[in-house]
Amino acid sequence: MRVSVALCTYQGERYVEEQLRSILDQTRPVDEIVVGDDASTDATLAIVERVASGTSVPIVVARHEPALGVAANFADAIARTTGDVVAFSDQDDVWHPDRIARLLAALDGVDLVHSDARLVDADGAPLGATLLDSLEASPWERDRMQHGGALEALLRRNLVTGATVLVRRDAAVAALPVPEGWIHDEWIAMACALGGGVRLVPDATIDYRQHGANQIGVRRLTLRQKLGRLMEADSGSHARKALRATSLAREAHARGMGTPDERRILDEKAAHERRRAALPRPRLLRVPAVVGGVVRGRYARLSRGLLDVARDVLERR
């Protein structure tokens, strides 16, 4: 299988060379790298071109003026690849040498594989945690993602981080364009869960750098921070979730994604998120609707269970 890499950059001069070197040093070599640059004004492109001049692996650069944004940049880079499979790459991470070999071995029978990641600081020093640990992925969620139940887990929340993904190119291209409200990796993972399947490799295959300027990063909250978030005002997250769930259901019907039963579940998910977004401002008035959602199992199947029950009752609106 030919392996392409879709690498998106923006002002990445500090880290991009280390990342490119880690990609080129894979035990199972990649066949091409497509770099989508979003209007960088620093030395990013000069570094990419210098690295490209010293390798036999084709490195194709697409320069975007004006910038496309993260999701559109990745979508464009994916469309430009020519391999059988595409590995997604951020500009500031470091791949473990056997990343491609391990993910290719796990791809049999599914369209997309993803892995855990070791969290490191700006200088590459381990932070003592992994990505899935920081997301507090439960044993149930990890089991579902590993053993054929990805859709069940992803209906509750996204657990697929693009920097860890390897996907069959035909499945990724078929999922494009990314609909309103979605990020590229979340959408492609959901499309694959409704199609050829998604599998988690439970071990870390990259160092996922956390430096404060990540386009998309992760941090683990303390108990006090979690309680504070439950009580803070809705910042528009409910409207975004309702938009995403509605666009997912609409696209699934329009594109024939999933089985009829799965599409019915997506309709239920969309209706559930719209109900959550429409809960009244006074807390006491929300209780009957939330309890109804609990009794009917919607919070357990379509949200994060008691955590979202507490959020919907306690948050300020």
pLDDT at 214 over 50: no
What's the whole-number mean pLDDT along residues 208-226? 65
pLDDT at 213 over 80: no
pLDDT digits (tens, 9 = 90+) for 74-89: 999 999 999 999 999 9
36 three-state secondary structure: strand
**d(Cα 193, Cα 82) in Å, to the nearest integer?**
23
Fold of the 3-209 domain: Spore Coat Polysaccharide Biosynthesis Protein SpsA; Chain A (3.90.550)
**d(Cα 40, Cα 38) in Å, to the nearest integer?**
6
pLDDT at 211 over 90: no
104, 164, 172, 230 from 161: Cα distances, Å:
17, 6, 15, 24
169, 78 in Cβ contact below 8 A? yes
Radius of gyration over every alpha carbon of the chain, rounded to an integer in angstroms: 20
Q: Which residues pair with 87 in a beta bridge?
A: 5, 166
Q: Which pLDDT score, from 0 to 100, does residue 317 have?
A: 86
pLDDT at 215 over 50: no
pLDDT digits (tens, 9 = 90+) for 42-81: 999 999 999 999 999 999 999 999 999 999 999 999 999 9
Q: Structure tokens of 30?
A: 């990649």
pLDDT digits (tens, 9 = 90+) for 222-280: 766 766 666 677 888 999 999 999 999 999 999 999 999 999 999 999 999 999 999 99
162, 90 in Cβ contact below 8 A? yes
**d(Cα 174, Cα 79) in Å, to the nearest integer?**
10
Segments in 232-316 forming alpha helices (H): 237-255, 260-277, 283-295, 298-302, 306-314
CA atoms within 13 A on the CB side of 5: 30
6 phi, psi to nearest 5 deg:
-105, 105
pLDDT at 41 over 50: yes
As a whole number, the mean pLDDT across the chain is 94
Q: Cis before residue 282, ω within 30 degrees of 0?
A: no
**d(Cα 144, Cα 159) in Å, to the nearest integer?**
11
Q: Any idea where the domains of the chain sit in the sequence? A: 3-209, 223-314
What's the whole-number mean pLDDT along residues 159-173? 98
Q: Which residues pair with 94 in a beta bridge?
A: 207
11, 41 in Cβ contact below 8 A? yes
DSSP conformation letters of 75-93: HHHHHH--SSEEEEE-SS-
DSSP 252: H
Q: Which pLDDT score, from 0 to 100, does residue 233 have?
A: 78
